[in-house]
Amino acid sequence: MKANNEMQESNHRVSAVSEKSFPGFVIFKNFPVASIFFDLSDGGIVFWNQAASKLTGYDPESFSLITDFADAMIPNGETCELFKKLLFLPLQTDEVQRTPVTCLTSEGRPFVAEMQVWQTTGNDYPANARVLHLLELASNDPVVERLRKYSLELNSRIKESTSELDRHKQWLAMALEGSREGVWTIDFKADTMEFLYTNLLSLLGYDSEDIENTQISWDNLTHPDDLPEVHRRLQQHFDGLTPFYEAEYRAKAKNGEWRWILGHGKVVRRDSEGRPLEAIGTHMDIDRLKRTEENLRKSESQFRTLVENAPVALILVSPDGKFLYANPRFTDLSGHDHTEFDSIENWWAVAYPNAEAHAEFLRKLEEGNPFHTEIVGRGDLEKQVIVHFAKLPDGSSFIAYEDITSQSIYERTLLKREKELHEKSEKLEEMNAALRVILNRMNSDKDELESKVYMNIRDLVMPYVDKLESMTHNEVQQSYLNIIKQNLQNIASSFAVQFSKRNVSLTPREIQIANMINENMSNKDIAAILYISESSVEFHRHNIRKKLGLVDKKVNLKTYLRGML
């Protein structure tokens, strides 16, 4: 039972390793010489090509150990034991151990074969792997001789390939370092995750010793918000639902900063039931790219918001005249959705049903300058617009329609109002001219009337008042007569007229005193006539000078008053 378990475990190892992508195994897979690779440490068979099955009649699952293969193939016991010792003898890098041995196939057919054993080198093969070639010998068989020579040449080519592979690995390391990438592998059976190139770890500020070789340690660096999506995509690939794994997520740097990472990988080895055994992939720093994308998204969002809320209708046309985009304002302006038109020409045919207007529009459009035109929208609704046109570098066109219909209506209304106001202004000017004639006539009549009143009082009334005054000796009557005489003089005084014309608001008493000053009367005389004190006369004189703007001026009041007449 134990032997069966060991056999199954070994067969499982042969199957798993044979599926592993080792360049050496790829070379020997279809090699015409029977080739068997085994582990020098425990003798376990790790690879068995088709030629070995064809020559020996056995399948790769027939044996778990190279010694079991020797026991089955070599019937002579002593020869078999000696050969098994030869399999594990120390060998130099270029040394090949050759031994002719009589063998039996699985069907019991005897044949003579040369057993060649040599040590593999480099990473093209599993560690401690040795290879056993079986060349069937036949006397004077030129094919066997050619195969022997081919085997020697193959060893030389393998060494050259190993050297070339080392150079390629150096180039790969340089390329990964320049591209800020790291390489990782996951061994699902051992539950380990190794970082073969630590460029990304260095970028995040970690040394290789800072992170354990487990997937959990890397998960702990993944942003909690991104981790569920990473696991979902990994599981999809592990389940065979996707050809590879890829996810963008944030990883925590040593300084606490979150940086965007692109993870990409693929399962390279599965067991017989399809469960993943090994995966390999890369980590790439895309933080700068993601931040640039975020800025572009913000700019695009701002630009789209600006365009969609622009107060003008905007249209983007492809180089072949197809509608690429039209903002909502275009629908508001035209009453149409741009999807109703196959091309911009279809829209123009609707907007300009008149052939002459259509041709004129196209002519102005070619000039490239903004111009005013009229378009016809849904329901034959006419709109006044300003058209702006620009050719873009990729051959597409950008057209903007600025709706000025309301402005045009307002301008027409304003022009109408201006015309009406102009007509009214002309009528008012005519009326003003007539009023000025009337006012001039009235002023003339007023002056004439004032002159007549003054002349009549002075010539027809005052002489009788003077005569009556000389005949009156009663003091009371004399006082009343003086008051009558003074009031008549005030009425007839030209001062009242002049003061009113100059907008000087003198009181009747001030007009009376101004008239007496003009008659060359002194303060004492004025006081006696008006029955007031001289200080009161002086007070009225001061108010008259103040109202005439003569305060603090060296101007004689009597001279100024006489100049007014």
How many C-beta atoms surround the C-beta of residue 378 within 10 A?
A: 11
Residues 318-327: what's their mean pLDDT? 86
Asked if residue 170 has pLDDT above 90, the reply is no
pLDDT at position 501:
60
Asked if residue 491 has pLDDT above 70, the reply is no
More confident residue, 422 or 534: 534
Which segments within 371-493 are labelled E, that is strand?
371-376, 382-391, 397-403
> What count of residues does the chain have?
565
pLDDT at position 344:
85
The pTM (predicted TM-score) of the whole model is 0.37
Rounded distance, CA 125 to CA 114, Å? 23
Q: What is the DSSP secondary-structure string of 518-556?
A: HTT--HHHHHHHHT--HHHHHHHHHHHHHHTT-TTS---
Q: Among residues of the chain, what percentage have pLDDT more than 90?
A: 14
pLDDT at position 407:
74
Instruction: Give 502's pLDDT tier (boundaries 50, 70, 90).
Output: low
3-state secondary structure 227-278: HHHHHHHHHHHHCCCCCCEEEEEEEECCCCCEEEEEEEEEEEEECCCCCEEE
Rounded distance, CA 76 to CA 60, Å? 23
pLDDT at position 95:
80
More confident residue, 244 or 493: 244
Quote the mean pLDDT of the chain. 79
- CA–CA distances in Å: residue 510 to residues 8, 183, 536, 550: 143, 115, 11, 15
pLDDT at position 13:
46
Q: Which of 151-160, 372-381, 490-499 has the lowest mean pLDDT?
A: 151-160
Instruction: Give 18's pLDDT tier (boundaries 50, 70, 90).
Output: very low
Asked if residue 3 has pLDDT above 50, the reply is no
Residues 192-196: what's their mean pLDDT? 81
Q: What is the pLDDT of residues 137-149, one digit of tens each?
A: 764 455 445 555 5
Q: Give CB contacts under 8 A, 24+ apart, made by 289-296.
A: 289/260, 290/248, 290/260, 291/260
Residues 375-380: what's their mean pLDDT? 81
Rounded distance, CA 445 to CA 438, Å? 10
pLDDT at position 327:
86
Which phi and psi angles does 394 have, rounded to 5°?
A: -85, 5
Asked if residue 215 has pLDDT above 70, the reply is yes
Is the CB of residue 98 less than 8 Å from the CB of residue 116? yes
pLDDT at position 140:
46
Q: Which two tokens stand for residue 395?
A: 């051959």
More confident residue, 74 or 480: 74
Residues 73-97: what's their mean pLDDT? 87
Q: Going from the N-terminus, what domains does the chain have, and what CATH number goes with each?
A: 2-174 (3.30.450.20), 179-293 (3.30.450.20), 310-403 (3.30.450.20), 443-564 (no CATH)
Q: Which residues of 416-447 are buried (b: 16+ CB within 10 A; e: fewer)?
A: eeeeeeeeeeeeeeeeeeeeeeeeeeeeeeee
Q: Among residues of the chain, what percentage have pLDDT more than 70?
A: 82
Rounded distance, CA 52 to CA 36, Å? 7
Unique residue bearing structure tokens 């008051």: 483
Is the CB of residue 100 less than 8 Å from the CB of residue 112? yes
More confident residue, 421 or 179: 421
Rounded distance, CA 135 to CA 150, Å? 11
Q: Which two tokens stand for residue 425?
A: 């202004």
Strand 382-391 versus strand 371-376 pairing type: antiparallel
pLDDT at position 166:
52
Q: Which of 40-54, 75-89, 426-440 has the lowest mean pLDDT?
A: 426-440
Asked if residue 178 has pLDDT above 60, the reply is no
- CA–CA distances in Å: residue 562 to residues 71, 383, 559: 161, 75, 5
Q: What is the pLDDT of residues 506-555, one digit of tens each?
A: 777 887 788 888 878 888 888 888 888 889 989 988 888 888 888 888 88
pLDDT at position 16:
44
Residues 253-281: what's their mean pLDDT? 89
